[in-house]
Structure formats: structure tokens, C-alpha cells
Amino acid sequence: MNQDTLKNLCIESCEVIREVGIFIKHELGKVQASAIETKALNSLVSYVDKEAEKQLVKGLNALLPEATFLTEEETVKSEAGEYQWIIDPLDGTTNFLHQLPFFSVSVGLQHKEEIIIGIVYEVNRKECFYAWKGGGAFLNDKKIQVTKTAQLGDTLIATGFPYYDYEHMQAYLGVLENLMRNTRGLRRLGSAALDLAYVACGRFDAYFEYSLNAWDVAGGILLVKEAGGELSDFKGGDDYLFGRQLIAGNPQILKALQGLIRENFYPNS
Ligand code: IPD
Ligand code: CA
Ligand code: CA
């Protein structure tokens, strides 16, 4: 796909996602307790996630019929393919169901091993974060960049607290304690996709979390890269799309976080 085709596909995909955002916002505050299912410990879902996903699949399929899908709610069969949409129809479901206005739609298009389009849409503020490979990262038409903060002491860092996988709790708390003492502050806002988008636009200097799924991060990874940021897994490697753990940030702060995470998670390495 050349740059123009990629850019057009990205912009058209944003339109599909904005429409789905209208549906999600319309349902805010309307979901009855009886309509909430528990998929796994603390992992909730309702008809809103599923219906949003169906709408996304329909709209994106019309734009690129040859692409396959990998979606959180499995309303369509997961299939590998040269092009694959990786979709989280509602990232921040717990916030949504508690009527906290911080949730998003996250869509990434993978080509072979690489994400070539990334979109995260913040439904309440109507903020569309989007990037295509080689084209830069944008927030509602404005180019965005990661921060240039060099000192940990000047940073604001986002994370996601473990809520079902408590195996690495001590290591995680060790990282948190260090960051509480050595940064401006930590935030747990409840949407991994938006945490990445906020790193891309400089609202956060960095973000880290473990026990993530590919659909949580597929939309945001390219945003961070195209905005001049960097990403790694907890060992400093590249396995952050499917590797279930991710650090993202401006390049200097990413390095500082990698060191801190290594010390706490892999003290003998
Ligand atoms: C969750 C959110 C949350 C993060 C979890 C994700 P969901 O996604 O992104 O911030 O901490 O790891 O699973 O379940 O709301 O789509
Ligand atoms: Ca998610
Ligand atoms: Ca979700």
C-alpha cells in the first residue's frame, strides 16, 4: 500500500470509528446490571461492547475486504491474514459501566508483522488519535509528539494496576514505590489504548502495564512510534504486541523505566 492509499484508509477508518463512538456514547448510563456479564475475574462485558464490535467489523470490512480480524469480543472469527484488523471495541469497559468518562475504541491494522494504521478514539471528548506508518501521528488533524522530558522527577507516568493476574505483585509494587518517590505522579485511568494515545500526544511521559492483550495496544503502538516515542516489553525486547507486557514513552524516560522494571521484575538478570 502506498502512502496515499494508507492515509486515505486511515482517515476513512476514523470515520467508521467516530460513528461507533456515537453509538457507545448513546448507551452510556443505560446498561442495566442484569445486562452485564463477567467473562473472567473483573473482566466485564455488555451488549455495548459486542454491538460496537459488530459495527466496526462491518465498516472496516467494507473499506478493506481482504483483511481478516482479531477482535476482543469474538463476534467474528479470528483469522490470520496478510492484513488483519486488531480491534478493542470498547477499551475501558469498567469505566464505561461505572459511568466514568474515560473509555475508547481502539483499532490497529497489521500488515504481516507490522502495525501500519493505529487509531484510538476517546468517545467523550471526541478526540481521534490516528497514525499511519511513515505519516506521523495526529489528534483531530493536529500533529502530535511525545514529550522531551529528560528527568524522571519531571514526569507524569501512566500504568494499569493488576486486576486478575497478581503473580508479579511484589515486583510491580516495587516499581510503583520507586516512581511514587521519584516522579511528579502516577495515574491509573483505566484504558490502555488511551494511556498510549496520551503518551503519543505528550500528556504522559510514559506508560507501562503487564497482562495486556494485543487488542488493548494495537491501536496505540503506532501512535507512540509515529509521535517520536519508543516501546519495549519488560525485558527491553520487541515482544510488546502479543507479549502481554509493554513500556512506552519518550526515549529517555523509556530507558529509565526499563532499568527500574528490570531491577524489580528480573533482579538476577
Ligand atoms: C482494559 C483496560 C485497562 C487495562 C486492562 C485492559 P478493557 O481493557 O485497557 O486500562 O488495565 O489491562 O484489559 O477490558 O476495558 O477492554
Ligand atoms: Ca481493552
Ligand atoms: Ca474491551
If asked whether residues 100 and 162 sit together in one domain, one would say no
If asked whether residues 9 and 112 sit together in one domain, one would say yes
116, 143, 170 - which closes a domain: 143
If asked whether residues 139 and 158 sit together in one domain, one would say no
CATH number for the domain spanning 103: value is 3.30.540.10
Give ligand 1 pocket residues (Cβ under 6 A): 43, 88, 91-94, 160, 190-192, 209, 212, 216
CA 88 to ligand 1: nearest atom: 16
CA atoms of 98 and 147, how far apart (whole Å): 31
pLDDT digits over 35-73, tens only? 888 988 888 888 999 999 999 999 999 999 999 999 999
Q: How many angstroms does the Cα of residue 24 sit away from the middle of ligand 1? A: 16
Reading the chain (269 residues) residue by residue, the pLDDT tens digits are: 899 999 999 999 999 999 999 999 999 999 889 888 898 888 888 899 999 999 999 999 999 999 999 999 999 999 999 999 999 999 999 999 999 999 999 999 999 999 999 999 999 999 999 999 999 999 999 999 999 999 999 999 999 998 888 899 999 999 999 999 999 999 999 999 999 999 999 999 999 999 999 999 999 999 999 999 999 999 999 999 999 999 999 999 999 999 999 999 999 88
Q: Ligand 1 test: best mutation among 36, 44, 91, 168, most atoms within 8 Å of CB?
A: 91
The boundaries of the domain holding residue 198 are 152-265
Amino acid (1-letter code) at residue 139: L
If asked whether residues 137 and 157 sit together in one domain, one would say no
